[in-house]
């Protein structure tokens, strides 16, 4: 007589997915949401490309003794980082917080660090696309790109982009986590316009009045622009002042965002 088979255990066994799978899924979702929004694409891709092409073709801006495209490409790269890491992320996170998306995600097994890491990885992926696009257009427009050696140039470039992304992400999350969504929308766009004008993106800091230049030199956009210009156009290491400014903004912004961010 054969023994009867053991009964199947059909009890549910819910559990969280491995963190790596959650991180991958969250990153893909954040990236898809960013690319589906027309205003996000306008902010992160179309505006930087438009500024680069227009001001390279129309010689109306001072370029600090350089060809216009040589001055503009590093500055517009800095603007692209600010667009993705600060303005776009602040607005998107602010409305996610308003509509209760973050509150609902907080009730799932998704750890908060995975949520933030997914947002950061999505921003970095967009920045890679921005950099490839802007560098390609810059080279087509006659940009005389120079690096201080392949390994050193890539290393300095990676360090500057990481510090800039961290600083602007911290500022974006600080704004989105403390202000109402509508206030975040207005403030983020206002800061974007202000830093575009005084951040060394399209105007050399030397063209600013003395007091305004002193203020601009301690802003993260100017520090990132100057650092990228030194590496990509002058084939030199970024200045110590630019690195110190970026480190201070990165550490300070992330610390304040972590301390003050409200999820609902």
**φ/ψ (deg, to 5) at 187:** -70, -40
Containing structural domain, residue 208:
20-260
Rounded to an integer, what distance in angstroms lies between the CA atom of residue 56 and that of residue 73? 9
Q: Classify residue 25: in a domain, yes or no.
A: yes
Q: Does the pLDDT value for residue 208 go beyond 90?
A: no
Helix 150-176 / helix 89-98 crossing angle, nearest 10 deg: 30
Residue 15 within a domain: no
What angle in degrees, to the nearest 10, is found between the helix axes of 68-82 and 150-176? 40
In a domain, 3, yes or no: no
Contacts for 67 with CB less than 8 Å, ≥ 6 apart? 142, 144
Closest by CA to 34, choosing from 130, 168, 159, 108, is: 130
Cα–Cα distance for residue pair 26/21, rounded to 1 Å: 9
**Confidence grade of residue 16 (pLDDT, cut at 50, 70, 90):** low
Domain annotation covers residue 49: yes
Q: Does 95 fall in a domain?
A: yes
The predicted pLDDT at position 249 comes to 95
- Please give the average per-residue pLDDT across 37-48, as a whole number: 80
Q: How far apart are the first and last CA of the chain?
A: 64
8 domain-assigned:
no
d(C-alpha 10, C-alpha 264), whole Å:
38
Structural element, H or E, at residue 210: helix 210-216
Asked if the structure places residue 4 within a domain, the reply is no
Contact (CB, 8 A) for 179 and 187: yes
Query: Closest Cα to residue 46, out of 68, 79, 92?
Result: 79
* pLDDT tens per residue, range 226-253: 999 988 888 888 989 999 999 999 999 9
Cβ–Cβ < 8 Å for 175, 184: yes
| Residue 39 covered by a domain | yes
Q: Total domain count for the chain?
A: 1
């Amino acid at each position: 007589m054969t023994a009867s088979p053991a009964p199947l255990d059909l009890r549910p066994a819910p559990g969280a997915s491995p963190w790596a799978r959650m991180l991958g899924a969250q990153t893909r979702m954040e990236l898809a949401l960013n690319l589906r929004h027309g205003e996000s694409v306008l902010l992160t891709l179309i505006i930087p490309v438009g500024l680069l092409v227009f001001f390279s073709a129309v010689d109306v801006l001072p370029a600090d003794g350089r060809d216009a495209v040589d001055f503009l490409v590093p500055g517009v790269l800095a603007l692209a980082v600010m667009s993705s890491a600060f303005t776009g992320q602040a607005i998107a996170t602010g409305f996610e917080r308003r509509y209760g998306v973050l509150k609902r995600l907080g009730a799932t097994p998704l750890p908060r660090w995975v949520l933030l890491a997914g947002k950061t990885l999505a921003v970095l992926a967009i920045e890679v696309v921005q950099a490839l696009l802007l560098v390609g257009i810059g080279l087509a427009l006659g940009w005389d790109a120079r690096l201080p050696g392949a390994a050193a140039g890539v290393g300095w470039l990676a360090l500057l982009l990481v510090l800039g992304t961290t600083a602007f992400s911290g500022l974006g999350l600080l704004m989105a986590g403390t202000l109402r969504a509508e206030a975040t929308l207005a403030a983020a766009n206002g800061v974007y316009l202000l830093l575009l004008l005084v951040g060394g993106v399209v105007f050399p800091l030397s063209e600013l009045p003395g007091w305004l230049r002193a203020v601009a030199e301690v802003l993260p956009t100017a520090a990132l622009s100057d650092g990228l210009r030194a590496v990509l156009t002058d084939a030199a290491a970024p200045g110590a002042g630019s690195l110190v400014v970026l480190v201070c903004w990165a550490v300070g912004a992330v610390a304040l965002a972590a301390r003050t961010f409200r999820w609902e």
